[in-house]
Chain A
Amino acid sequence: MATPTPLREPTFLILTALARESMHGYGIISDVAALSGGRLALRPGTLYGALDRLTDEGLVERDREEVVEGRLRRYYRLTDAGRSVLTAETERLRRNVEAATQRLAVRPAGTRPAGGTARGPLTVPGTAARPILRPTGGPA
């Protein structure tokens, strides 16, 4: 099955968590919570379902296993395809953020910014009007 794009937030954050190093389930849950500022609390059932799906799609793979104090820890890592999808999605989001930031900097005529003077309209770059690019490099 192809990865739906744009990526859903939990998927994006799971891939982001794995971008730096391979991690086990608890590590991913903690990292996703930290990355989202505590807003997204993944539960293990949901996490492993997502990891299975991402594994099927070739974005994530198993790295290694170890037993710590009697508990099985299975580590997962990002594949090259996963890194490409994450890179493309990050670029897409970055362009959206840039476009929104530039638009917000342009105040409608007749309004005055708080504590400042009215500014003339800024040139809106062409990127804002460009169609959204879909991530490439992932599996079909």
Chain B
Amino acid sequence: MNQPNPAPEQAGSPLESRYRRLLWAYPGDYQAERGDEIVGTYLDTVEPGRRWPSPHDALDLLGAGIRERLRGYGALGLAAAFPLAATAALSTLVAVAAFLLLQVEFEDPRLARLDPVGPFQTLGAVIWLGWLLVGLTATVLPGSWTRIAAACGLLLTIAVPPVAALAGQPRPPMFVLIPAVALGLATLALPAHPGWAARSLPPLTAGAVAAASVAFSAAENGGNMFTSYGSTPELLAMAGGLMFALVLLVGLGRALRADDAGLWAALLLATPAGLFGADQLSQGIWGSRGGGPGAAAYATTTGTILLVGAALLAAAIAGQSARHQSVRRQVLDKACPTCGHRSTATTAT
């Protein structure tokens, strides 16, 4: 066994303080009980001379702290739901990317009355090509590479509006970009060791949508059903609804096997799915102005969807926590039928 670092070298050091500060993600009582042990083990493992925790250490402590909180709420299924939600989010993003690239970006820019960006209608083509590349990465490269690629895809999506404004180039409207950013955030939790389903879904969805787009164009026979982003809100709302429905279906199937991760994943994706329908919802509530909702109406609807999504998640965690505490109390109050002994909770939950 390797020898741990000598304690005097690190005791009370800035490094120790920095590790202690990273414990904030853990519940308070857990920090009090286990903080010394966790920080001590970190100090044992770091190489001599280190002054700051590495990014991997910070992520490890952050993830472990969140998992510990979820464990206390009896909601560990939520931690298991993130990779599931990320896989569904990436599959949806590549499907949307394939559709928008083929049906909008490659269309004649004159139809949308835009100055073309090379062969494309807008700078959005860069975003969609980027997400198709992320989908390809998820299929052929290790999980750690895919997460980096997903982070790059997200940055690209966020960067396009300011770049377009600075360069004076057209970009996709916000009702397309905001849900794309929400799904992009979800993809940051892609599994470290993806299974065959996680690897095959992105190319399958992209391929299916591309084939459907080509078939649709052929059936249109020169028609112009989709000529610009302005003609896509209904279809995007349907895409969001379909994603949510499929994940919910998978979640219900897994729930039959006492696995609630799929239901948590559906809850996580409810917000991005709602954002895909924000444009239609705004028009339904406040009416349309010039073929779409007003900026204030759209912003209000989007803000409301974000708040409702967060409230739903908080309510689900609170409900699960109450149920967990109730079950735990019942177990602890129950006396052993043989000796009459009652359990006492000594382990942090």
Contact = CB atoms under 8 A, between A and B. Distances in A.
A10 to B, nearest CB: 11
Given A25-B41, A55-B347, A71-B7, A48 B2 contact: no
B2 A44 contact: no
Contact of A25 (B1, B2, B37, B64): B37
Nearest to B74: A1
Nearest to A1: B76
Nearest to A2: B258
A78 B221 CA distance: 70
Contact of A29 (B36, B45, B56, B68): B45
B8 A44 contact: no
A14 B106 CA distance: 54
B8 A46 contact: no
B60 A46 contact: yes
Contacts of A1: 76
B34 interface: yes
A47 to B, nearest CB: 7
B64 A48 contact: yes
Given A25-B41, A30-B1, A52-B348, A45 B60 contact: yes
A71 B38 CA distance: 10
Given A45-B64, A46-B60, A52-B71, A26 B4 contact: yes
Interface residues of B, number: 31
5 contacts: A45-B61, A68-B7, A69-B11, A71-B11, A72-B37
A71 B34 contact: no
A31 B2 CA distance: 9
Contacts of A56: 347, 349
Contact of B36 (A30, A31, A45, A72): A72
A43 B60 contact: yes
Interface of A: 1, 24-27, 29-31, 34, 43-49, 52-53, 55-56, 68-74
Given A49-B67, A71-B7, 5 more contacts: A43-B57, A49-B64, A69-B11, A71-B36, A71-B44
A48 B60 contact: no
B11 A70 contact: yes
Nearest to A27: B1
B295 to A, nearest CB: 44
A33 B67 CA distance: 23
A25 B1 CA distance: 12
B159 to A, nearest CB: 32
A51 B280 CA distance: 49
Contacts of A27: 1
Given A43-B57, A44-B60, A69-B7, A30 B2 contact: yes
B272 interface: no
B44 A26 contact: yes
Interface string B58-69: 001101110110
Contact of B6 (A26, A30, A55, A69): A69
Contacts of B8: 69-70
Nearest to B30: A52
Contacts of A44: 38, 41-42, 45, 60-61
A61 to B, nearest CB: 10
